[in-house]
Amino acid sequence: MDTVFTPWQSLGGGILIGAASILLMATLGRIMGATGILAGLLSPSSAADFSWRAAILLGMVSGPVVVMLTTGQMPEIQVPVSTTMLAVGGFIVGIGVTFGSGCTSGHGVCGMARLSPRSIAATVTFMVMTGITVYIVRHVLGA
Detail the DSSP E strand segments found in the chain. Answer: none
Phi-psi map region of 13: left, alpha, beta (phi>0 left; psi -120 to 50 alpha): alpha
- Domain-wise residue ranges, the chain: 7-140
pTM of the predicted model as reported, rounded to 2 decimal places: 0.74
Q: Are 31 and 107 in contact (CB under 8 A)?
A: no
Residue type, 63: G
H/E segment holding residue 13 = helix 7-28
Please give the Cα distance from 140 to 28 (Å, whole number).
46
Residue 1's pLDDT is what? 57
Query: Residue 8 has what pLDDT?
Result: 92
Distance CA 143, CA 137 (A): 6
Q: What is the reported pLDDT for 71?
A: 92
Quote the pLDDT of residue 100: 81
pLDDT in tens, 100-111: 888 888 888 888
Give the angle 135-17-110 at the CA atoms, nearest 5°.
80
Which amino acid appears at position 122 of this protein?
A
